[in-house]
Structure 1
Amino acid sequence: MSNIDLNLPIKPEMPARKDFRIGCIGSGFIMRDCHLAAYRDAGFHPVAIASRTYENAKAAADLRGIATVYRTWEELVQAPDIEILDIAFPPDRQLEVVRLAVKMKHIKGILCQKPLAMNSREAREIVELCEQAGIKLAVNSNMRFDQSMRALKAILDRSYLGQPVLATIEMRAIPHWQDFLHKYERLEILNMGIHHVDVFRYLFGDPHKVTAVTRKDPRTKFPHLDGITQYTFQYANELMATSLDDVWAWPGEGAEKDIYIKWRVEGLEGMAQGTIGWPLYPERSPSTLAFTTKQAPNEWLRPTWDEVWFPDAFQGTMAQLLRAVETDSEPEISGRDNLRTMAAVDACYKSIEEGRTVLFSEVSHSFL
């Protein structure tokens, strides 16, 4: 019998106060079926909603039991009873929402979507506006609250794997690219791969060097720089962390599908591997983890849980903001920290555009 502690902290730490009055901006899938479903289960208190289309906001409010629907997001932001803003607008719209929100004395915290903005300059402006106004800013980098990632972080922190040597993510998926993305050249890394970029930072910290390559996705007809991508982070201790983001994944009718996300971390003392359940959504498919370590020789340890990434992880992204407001501390996924994720994304694009390995410091020093 193993003496390894399998009590892994996958559930988010909740705030003592759950009745912060949350105003929700946006009524699409992420807000309607992820944020609001997770908040209901956590006991949080969304009291108002607004969206680009009133009818969509009203439908989401009716579905999730939200009392007040505003005609415009500007009206919601200015409503004096709103304490927390939960923004689920496209990232190219978040800056204008924040510019108004920071003028409101009643706003205590803001949860923005990832990416924080479509470029690092606007992301930094969002961060600085919130800091100047004394408003806690968090980013919805929700893969950090995927249960297998939380468990893996605990395993690494407990040194069950020893010093990490190689980490990999392999994603085979077919995303739906929202209409607002069609006018932007940067596509996969900024809007989907950013999950993997951020989770590498969560697990291992900032990279020393970044190398990225890409080719266009034949299925995606609008112009784009990065379709199918592969990027590798190299660390000062020689750890390599690499992700293959395959958004082709299935040629189409007449061929069988094989959709999945797998990950693996190998260390000097053990290794861990698992899957992310998201590709099977809306089926409730928990992510998985199995690990082996010299501290428990010759066996695989397989902790399990019932929670799933979508929507359960969204409890964590709001909880960490509410705790920060409650305790006057920095959110776990703060806007300031997220600038480093945006810098890593920029390093990937610089590597692609210049055809070379890029030092993280080349991009980070300019705006961090």
Structure 2
Amino acid sequence: MEAVDLNLPINPEMPRRKDYRIGCIGSGFIMRDCHLVAYRDAGFHPYAISSRTHGNAKAVAELRGIPHVYETWEALIRDPQIEILDIAVPPDRQLEIVREAVKQAHIKGILCQKPLAMNMREACEIVELCEEAGIKIGVNSNMRYDQSIRALKAVLDRGYLGEPVLATIEMRAIPHWQDFLHKYEHVEILNMGIHHIDAFRYLFGDPERITAVTRRDPRIAFKHIDGISQYTFQYGNELMATSLDDAWAWPGEGTEQDIYIKWRVEGLDGVAQGTIGWPTYPERTPSTLEFTTKRSPGKWHRPAWEQVWFPDAFQGTMAQLLRAVETNTEPEIGGRDNLHTMALVEACYKSIAERRTVEFSETASKIKSYTFEGGSPL
């Protein structure tokens, strides 16, 4: 029986320098209770904050010990002391901020929210603007830093499961859809499912084919296409990765709820399964992983940790950007890489609209056709 190493690397690699001055745009839940809590615990340096509502920004600054508060994000980005920009606003507003931020010579890195934009064209423009300005761009695809997903990646890389055959994610959740989404028809896949799509890419790479189906959520009053979604990725080695995203999640209001995110990966030599602890937030419930492998037959391995997805994973998304700035390398979750995640989102919607399986090349090709030079389409 071969020994199995349970020393699984779940913690992010930190930059040598932690005191980069971070300018924070946004003061909602994600910034207040995730970004800033994670940064405090990691020893990072939020230097300034602004928000749509100045009073909210001031309150968060007092709560989290941020020394400078600006009336507007335009004033914040012009502060020459700011080195890193941390954007936590609705994704349909990110492009206008990036367009102005890249004009500031003192900004070295930008962390954008996911989705990077509401469509591929704007996502490509954001990436091109940053690249042309020599600014590192990272994307806050924080499920890659969930501890169970991080540990699963190590289990796969060490070959404990052998060649993967089937991967599944099942989500039952009742999200709060922000008001800005009410003017868009694309809801669940672009804003929730994108976590799972990006996690599949992190674990297995880009697929060859995508098949997706969806229906409306009976609870949602505004016009939308996707409330309950299922999408399947097919790879060249026959691996199937499929996610069922149930944002209706009945039983719902007024009855007993059963809210969870579960995942499972089956391979030729073993199986791993786990849960994401997020649905219990703000209670700190760590995500879980258990796996069994032919290398130690008849035994389940159950590593454990104290960290949780929200807010601890947000240390990783900022750390990977700071390391990229520090070493002049591409971030682990860089903008260029994230365009492939956006292309998969678009492939899902194309599959739904045309009621067919879509080749990934059909949407990935748009990454090149949407290239910008000097802010103008080629």
User: Does the TM-score normalized on the shorter chain lie above 0.5?
Assistant: yes
Deviation at 1:254, TM superposition (A): 4.4
The aligned residue for residue 40 of structure 2 is: 40
Q: Does 1:49 align with 2:49?
A: yes
The aligned residue for residue 232 of structure 1 is: 232
Q: CA offsets, 1:120-166, max 9 Å, x none?
A: 00000000000000000000000000000000000000010000000
The aligned residue for residue 328 of structure 2 is: 328
Deviation at 1:352, TM superposition (A): 0.2
The aligned residue for residue 374 of structure 2 is: none
Q: Tell me the secondary structure at the aligned position of residue 299 of structure 1.
A: coil
Pairing of 1:122-201 with structure 2 (within 5 A): 122-201=122-201
The aligned residue for residue 119 of structure 1 is: 119
Q: CA offsets, 1:224-250, max 9 Å, x none?
A: 011100000000000000000001113
Q: Tell me the secondary structure at the aligned position of residue 297 of structure 2.
A: strand
Q: Equivalents in 1 of 2:293, 2:56: separation in Å?
A: 50
The aligned residue for residue 268 of structure 2 is: 268
Paired letter, 1:23: G
Deviation at 1:256, TM superposition (A): 1.3
Q: Does 1:3 align with 2:3?
A: yes
Q: Equivalents in 1 of 2:296, 2:113: separation in Å?
A: 40
Q: Does 1:12 align with 2:12?
A: yes
Q: Equivalents in 2 of 1:343, 1:248: separation in Å?
A: 25
Deviation at 1:252, TM superposition (A): 3.4
Paired letter, 2:313: A
Q: Equivalents in 1 of 2:366, 2:173: separation in Å?
A: 34
Pairing of 1:254-293 with structure 2 (within 5 A): 254-293=254-293
Paired letter, 1:267: G
Paired letter, 2:174: I
Deviation at 1:251, TM superposition (A): 3.8
Q: Equivalents in 1 of 2:328, 2:352: separation in Å?
A: 40
Q: Tell me the secondary structure at the aligned position of residue 296 of structure 1.
A: coil
Question: Structure 1 pair 84/254, CA: closer, same or farther in 2 (3 Å)?
Answer: closer
The aligned residue for residue 343 of structure 1 is: 343
Question: Structure 1 pair 68/295, CA: closer, same or farther in 2 (3 Å)?
Answer: same
Q: Tell me the secondary structure at the aligned position of residue 106 of structure 2.
A: coil
Paired letter, 2:110: I
Q: Tell me the secondary structure at the aligned position of residue 299 of structure 2.
A: strand
Q: Does 1:244 align with 2:244?
A: yes
Q: CA offsets, 1:244-273, max 9 Å, x none?
A: 000111343442111110000000000000
Q: Tell me the secondary structure at the aligned position of residue 367 of structure 2.
A: coil
Q: Tell me the secondary structure at the aligned position of residue 230 of structure 1.
A: strand
The aligned residue for residue 96 of structure 2 is: 96
List alignment gaps of at least 5 residues for structure 2.
Answer: 369-378
Tell which deviates more after alignment, 270-279 or 252-261. 252-261
Q: CA offsets, 1:8-40, max 9 Å, x none?
A: 000000000000000000000000000000000
The aligned residue for residue 311 of structure 2 is: 311
Q: Equivalents in 2 of 1:120, 1:14: separation in Å?
A: 31
Tell which deviates more after alignment, 245-254 or 211-220. 245-254
Paired letter, 1:121: R
Q: Tell me the secondary structure at the aligned position of residue 300 of structure 2.
A: strand
Q: Tell me the secondary structure at the aligned position of residue 298 of structure 2.
A: strand
Q: Equivalents in 2 of 1:74, 1:91: separation in Å?
A: 17
Q: Tell me the secondary structure at the aligned position of residue 197 of structure 1.
A: helix
Q: Equivalents in 2 of 1:27, 1:291: separation in Å?
A: 39
Q: CA offsets, 1:66-114, max 9 Å, x none?
A: 0000000000011100000000010000000000000000000000000
Q: Equivalents in 1 of 2:366, 2:261: separation in Å?
A: 34
Q: Equivalents in 2 of 1:252, 1:90: separation in Å?
A: 26
Contact 2:251 2:258 (C-alpha < 8 Å) held by counterparts = no
Paired letter, 2:115: P
Give the number of equivalent residue pairs: 368
Deviation at 1:366, TM superposition (A): 2.0
Q: Tell me the secondary structure at the aligned position of residue 300 of structure 1.
A: coil
Paired letter, 1:269: D
Q: Equivalents in 2 of 1:16, 1:159: separation in Å?
A: 31
The aligned residue for residue 210 of structure 1 is: 210
- Cα-Cα RMSD: 0.8
Q: TM-score if structure 2 supplies the norm length?
A: 0.96
Q: CA offsets, 1:158-183, max 9 Å, x none?
A: 01000000000000000000000000
Q: Equivalents in 2 of 1:345, 1:366: separation in Å?
A: 13
Q: Equivalents in 1 of 2:165, 2:188: separation in Å?
A: 26
Q: TM-score if structure 1 supplies the norm length?
A: 0.99
